[in-house]
């Protein structure tokens, strides 16, 4: 019998590596521009780190960790997430004593004993950031903005930011009491996991996927009604900052996240293109974790992205482009026509500039009348015709004519080249 990869693990083959490297390169560059520094922590840690950090009542600790005894009879666990290890390193190496804010990021393999499915393996890979030492709401907004930048640069468009506040410890205790009071009369109708969580971790019931439990929760109290005035003001400021950054968000009062260390802001960024496993980035604030693990009282906020899911989405984007290209056949993007000495010089420069940024561009060099050049443009199969005459050459513009619809408009040559993403979108729309 041949030996195969263990269930829940998979090989990343040479033909796939390019997508992984592209995502990692985009993230690395984006984070470097924001002055984040990479940190690499061990793949396994003392089990106690995760029990104390994540919470013994969580599914991760209770059901999903890979835990074993080493030869010294010490309990060791393969890391199920990245934050606890980064915080341990932050404390151990005295980073808090250096003052200021530590902006850290990591990437690597994580391990959870889950049911394998598309985008979810027992060995999976995460990219994460941790900002330690700042309680400023701008840190919350910054990490969300950086995550959004990374995802959009990768090419993801159909993204939704789900946002909530779970307040401070007192807020959550008050809400916990109210939730237990509401759910207890319905205990027998809850799913088995929810019944277990009712006492140990009732907020996690809000995440239940059971239809009957979800129906019961329709009338459950909202955590937003139990926030202190200070917590409410903080949440309002986070929303205002995101609005200023042009990042729309949707308030989801049932979003609590699955790890016990979160406080105040929690969020998920979801993709409409991924089906049931829609979350591509998740995180929040965890102001009590550093102290809980033996360090000084230190506010912190961070997130993690699942790389497997990002690779799936990137593959979908590539397949969509390939399909579009197949639909278009061997057609070219732009056919450039020009008349007049100055216009012809500019046409050559414009054609070359478009080629450099990836557009297939044919330049008419016949020098014939515009009418004859237009006929050749139609026969070429081009999506659009770019037109430069004496007037355009003089004022630095170009006429763009979409050959399918006949729609024509003038645009500055510089604007054409400065909006490559928009130009690609317009080209795609011609085939919808």
Supply the pLDDT for residue 421: 77
Surface-to-core class of residue 124, CB atoms within 10 Å of its CB (0-12 exposed, 13-18 middle, 19+ buried): buried
Query: Are residue 269 and residue 314 in the same domain, yes or no?
Result: yes
The verdict on residue 88 lying in a domain is: yes
Q: Which pLDDT band, with edges at 50, 70 and 90, does 425 fall under?
A: confident
Query: Are residue 49 and residue 150 in the same domain, yes or no?
Result: yes
- Cα(380)–Cα(391) distance, rounded to whole angstroms? 25
The pLDDT of residue 108 is above 70: yes
Q: Which pLDDT band, with edges at 50, 70 and 90, does 116 fall under?
A: confident
Per-residue pLDDT averaged across 321-350, rounded? 78
Question: Shortest CA distance to 430 belongs to which of 334, 338, 362?
Answer: 334
Per-residue pLDDT averaged across 77-106, rounded? 93
Whether 306 contacts 80, CB under 8 Å:
no
The verdict on residue 188 lying in a domain is: no
Query: Are residue 39 and residue 107 in the same domain, yes or no?
Result: yes
Domain at 111, CATH number: 3.30.930.10
Supply the pLDDT for residue 15: 87
**Strands of the 44-46 sheet, one edge to the other:** 44-46, 75-78, 67-69
Query: Are residue 19 and residue 78 in the same domain, yes or no?
Result: yes
The pLDDT of residue 187 is above 80: yes
The verdict on residue 423 lying in a domain is: yes
Query: Are residue 303 and residue 410 in the same domain, yes or no?
Result: no
Could you tell me the residue range of the domain that residue 45 belongs to?
A: 14-168+228-318
Per-residue pLDDT averaged across 395-419, rounded? 88
Question: Shortest CA distance to 147 belongs to which of 316, 306, 22?
Answer: 306
Supply the pLDDT for residue 198: 82
Domain final residue, candidates 251, 283, 318: 318
Per-residue pLDDT averaged across 256-261, rounded? 71
Q: Which pLDDT band, with edges at 50, 70 and 90, does 193 fall under?
A: confident
Whether 101 contacts 131, CB under 8 Å:
yes
Domain at 349, CATH number: 3.40.50.800
The verdict on residue 308 lying in a domain is: yes
Query: Are residue 286 and residue 422 in the same domain, yes or no?
Result: no
Per-residue pLDDT averaged across 91-114, rounded? 92
The pLDDT of residue 262 is above 90: no
Query: Are residue 250 and residue 366 in the same domain, yes or no?
Result: no
Alpha-helical regions (H) of 36-136: 47-54, 59, 83-92
CB atoms closer than 10 angstroms to residue 41: 18
Query: Are residue 55 and residue 164 in the same domain, yes or no?
Result: yes
Per-residue pLDDT averaged across 194-218, rounded? 83
Per-residue pLDDT averaged across 253-267, rounded? 83
Supply the pLDDT for residue 30: 94
The pLDDT of residue 282 is above 80: yes
Instruction: Write down the mean pLDDT value for the chain.
Output: 88
User: 288 is written with which tokens?
Assistant: 């009590």
- Enumerate the β-bridge partners of residue 285: 263, 301
Alpha-helical regions (H) of 103-221: 137-154, 169-183, 192-200, 211-217
Supply the pLDDT for residue 274: 60
End-to-end C-alpha distance for the chain, whole angstroms: 51
Supply the pLDDT for residue 53: 80
Global pTM reads 0.74
**Strands of the 408-412 sheet, one edge to the other:** 361-363, 334-338, 384-388, 397-402, 408-412
The verdict on residue 363 lying in a domain is: yes
Per-residue pLDDT averaged across 20-33, rounded? 94
The pLDDT of residue 318 is above 90: no
The verdict on residue 403 lying in a domain is: yes
Supply the pLDDT for residue 258: 62
Q: Which pLDDT band, with edges at 50, 70 and 90, does 329 fall under?
A: low
Supply the pLDDT for residue 276: 52
The pLDDT of residue 323 is above 60: no
Lowest-confidence pick of 124-138, 202-216, 265-279 = 265-279
Per-residue pLDDT averaged across 331-344, rounded? 90
Question: Shortest CA distance to 300 belongs to which of 92, 90, 51?
Answer: 90
The pLDDT of residue 357 is above 90: no
Domain count, the chain: 2
Query: Are residue 384 and residue 279 in the same domain, yes or no?
Result: no
């Amino acid at each position: 019998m041949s030996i195969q990869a263990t269930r829940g693990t998979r090989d990343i083959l040479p033909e796939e590596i390019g997508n992984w490297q592209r995502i990692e390169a985009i993230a690395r560059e984006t984070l470097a521009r924001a002055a984040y520094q990479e940190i690499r922590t061990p793949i396994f840690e003392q089990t106690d780190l995760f029990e104390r950090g994540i919470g013994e009542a969580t599914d991760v600790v209770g059901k999903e960790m890979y835990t074993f005894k080493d030869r010294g009879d010490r309990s060791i666990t393969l890391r199920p997430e990245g934050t606890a290890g980064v915080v341990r390193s932050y404390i151990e190496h005295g980073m808090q004593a250096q003052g200021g804010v530590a902006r850290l990021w990591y990437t690597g393999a994580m391990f959870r004993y889950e049911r394998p499915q598309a985008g979810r393996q027992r060995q999976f890979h995460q990219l994460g950031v941790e900002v330690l030492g700042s309680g400023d709401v701008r840190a919350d907004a910054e990490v969300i903005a950086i995550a959004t930048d990374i995802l959009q640069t990768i090419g993801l468009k159909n993204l939704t930011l789900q946002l909530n506040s779970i307040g401070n410890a007192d807020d959550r205790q008050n809400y916990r009491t109210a939730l237990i009071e509401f759910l207890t009369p319905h205990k027998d109708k809850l799913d088995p996991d929810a019944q277990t969580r009712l006492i140990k971790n009732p907020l996690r019931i809000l995440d239940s996927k059971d239809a009957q439990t979800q129906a019961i929760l329709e009338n459950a109290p909202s955590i937003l009604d139990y926030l202190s005035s200070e917590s409410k003001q903080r949440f309002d400021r986070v929303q205002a900052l995101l609005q200023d950054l042009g990042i729309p968000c949707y308030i989801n009062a049932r979003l609590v996240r699955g790890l016990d260390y979160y406080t105040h802001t929690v969020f998920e960024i979801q993709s409409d293109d991924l089906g049931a496993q829609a979350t591509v980035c998740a995180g929040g604030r965890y102001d009590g974790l550093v102290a809980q693990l033996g360090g000084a009282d230190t506010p912190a906020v961070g997130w993690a992205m699942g790389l497997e899911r990002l690779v799936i989405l990137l593959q979908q984007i590539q397949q969509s482009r390939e399909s579009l290209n197949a639909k278009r056949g061997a057609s070219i993007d732009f056919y450039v026509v020009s008349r007049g000495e100055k216009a012809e010089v500019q046409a050559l420069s414009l054609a070359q500039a478009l080629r450099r940024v990836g557009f297939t561009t044919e330049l008419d060099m016949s020098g014939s009348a515009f009418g004859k050049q237009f006929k050749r443009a139609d026969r070429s199969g081009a999506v659009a015709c770019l037109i430069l005459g004496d007037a355009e050459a003089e004022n630095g513009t170009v006429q763009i004519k979409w050959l399918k619809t006949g729609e024509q408009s003038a645009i500055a040559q510089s604007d054409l080249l400065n909006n490559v993403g928009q130009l690609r979108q317009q080209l795609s729309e011609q085939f919808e």
